[in-house]
Amino acid sequence: MRRTVPCLLGLLFIAACSNTPKQAVEAPPNYQPTPQSTPVRVDIAQAPKLADVQDAVKRVFKDAAVVDTKSEPSFLAGDFNGDASQDIAIIIKPAKLEAMNQELPPWLVREPRSNKPSTQRLKVEKDEPLLAVIHGYGTNDWRDPEATQTFLLKNVVGSNLNVESPANFAKTNSGRKLPRPQGDLIKETVNGTNGYLYYARATYSWYDPKSFKPEAPSGMVHQPRTQRAHAAAPQKAPEVVFITAEELKAKMAANQPLTLIDVRSSEGYAASKSTIQGAFHLKLRRLRSRLGYAPLKDIAKDREIVTYCACPKDESSISAAQILQSSGFTNVKVLQGGWNEWQKAKGPVQPK
């Protein structure tokens, strides 16, 4: 009996020691989950969903238009204006004609396939199919709440719509005279004619491979003196002049007389806590109607005016400058890069 107890104790000690390592070197599970990134931008870029497209139409047009879901496809995604932010082109139909033809709509109505100068305001017809191109903005591209810069295009809704990259466009039409698109193109067939819808020089145009003629150089620098002076020559709107953030800062530091107009979208302006020092905010769609009221009606026509926005390509501030120029103001400039560049340059600001 005296020998049995030590033996039993020894066996228990050995068993305990043999079990302990098994817990320490327990085999890992057969499947080891690995962290995965959330591909939000990739999903947006590859597969726009109808619900998101409808939200975008609602954001821009309110209840004045709806997505034409009978069209196939009814929307296309691409970087149409070449700013590295994804845009969305949507076939829509008017729901409220009066709202679509309001005097100062928050979108730009264009007719790319027409060669006639736009002397009159373009109107939307009842049941007319339209192509709305909403330019992307910020990290969420065309889904961003501030993505409201929109072109409403007439007579360009056709069949066989496809997005074409600039490289493929040049390759397919090698040997032909080509325009210089800034981004992706939309290839389609309209009224039996094959062509491309493209963005260049701040608007959308139509390219027909069979009838395209490059535009003649325009502008005061390149235009011949005799043509500029010809009384019968059609008068073009003066070209927009840009000013950099550093140039504007220098003018403000020297107390030069300036008028600064903030035409950021309502959403962008509301989300910001400040504006450029001395600036006042106006909605772009109401700018023309405000010309007869203070402070615009009291501004001298030759006073230097600078417009700015937060659009990727300064679209709203360019439109504002053109409205002011057409109204007789002779010294209008656009802040290049707008509000974003002003913040980078650490220019003076003031609370709203």
Q: What is the 3-state secondary structure (H, E, C) of 1-60?
A: CCCHHHHHHHHHHHHHHHHHHHHHCCCCCCCCCCCCCCCHHHHHHHCCCHHHHHHHHHHH
Of 43-57, 197-211, 229-243, the range with the highest mean pLDDT is: 197-211
What is the C-alpha end-to-end distance of the chain, expressed in Å?
96
Cα–Cα distances (Å) from 193 to 97, 189, 279, in that order, read 29, 5, 48
Please give the pLDDT value at position 216.
52
Predicted structure pTM score: 0.55
Sign of torsion, CA 199 204 207 211? negative
- Residue 352: pLDDT band (50, 70, 90) is confident
- Residue 104: pLDDT band (50, 70, 90) is confident
Bridge pairing between strands 193-200 and 185-190: antiparallel
C-alpha dihedral (125, 126, 127, 132), degrees to nearest 10: 40
- Residue 188: pLDDT band (50, 70, 90) is very high
Distance CA 298, CA 167 (A): 50
C-alpha dihedral (202, 93, 58, 60), degrees to nearest 10: 20
- Residue 118: pLDDT band (50, 70, 90) is low
Kindly state the average pLDDT of the residues 175-187. 93
- Residue 234: pLDDT band (50, 70, 90) is very low
Q: Which CATH architecture has domain 241-351?
A: 3-Layer(aba) Sandwich (3.40)
DSSP H or E segment with residue 271:
helix 266-271
- Residue 75: pLDDT band (50, 70, 90) is very high
What's the one-letter identity of residue 344? K
- Residue 119: pLDDT band (50, 70, 90) is low
Please give the pLDDT value at position 238.
58
Residue 165 neighbours by CB under 8 Å, 6+ apart: 184, 185
Kindly state the average pLDDT of the residues 178-203. 93
- Residue 31: pLDDT band (50, 70, 90) is very low
Domain residue spans of the chain: 43-207, 241-351
Tokens of 186: 């939309």
Is the Cβ–Cβ distance between 187 and 80 less than 8 Å? no
Residue 266 has pLDDT above 90, yes or no: no
Please give the pLDDT value at position 279.
95
Distance CA 303, CA 298 (A): 11
Q: What is the pLDDT of residues 134-157, one digit of tens each?
A: 999 877 899 998 888 899 999 999
Q: What is the pLDDT of residues 296-338, one digit of tens each?
A: 988 999 999 999 999 988 999 999 999 999 899 999 999 999 9
Q: What percent of the chain has pLDDT over 70?
A: 79
Q: How many CA atoms lie within 13 A of 297 on its CB side?
A: 6
Tokens of 181: 């698109």
Residue 33 has pLDDT above 60, yes or no: no
- Residue 47: pLDDT band (50, 70, 90) is confident
Residue 20 has pLDDT above 70, yes or no: no
Distance CA 18, CA 316 (A): 77
Kindly state the average pLDDT of the residues 173-202. 93
Distance CA 166, CA 185 (A): 7
Is the Cβ–Cβ distance between 91 and 138 less than 8 Å? no
Phi/psi for 92 (5° steps) reads -125, 165
Distance CA 169, CA 184 (A): 9
Please give the pLDDT value at position 121.
82
Distance CA 330, CA 225 (A): 21
Q: What percent of the chain has pLDDT over 90?
A: 59
What's the one-letter identity of residue 156? V
Is the Cβ–Cβ distance between 332 and 241 less than 8 Å? yes
Distance CA 114, CA 180 (A): 19
Distance CA 267, CA 85 (A): 19
Cα–Cα distances (Å) from 142 to 56, 274, 312, in that order, read 7, 25, 12
Average pLDDT in the chain: 82
Q: pLDDT higher for 201 or 204? A: 204
Smallest CA-to-CA distance from 112 within 151, 140, 142 is with 151
Distance of CA 180 to the CA centre of its chain: 19
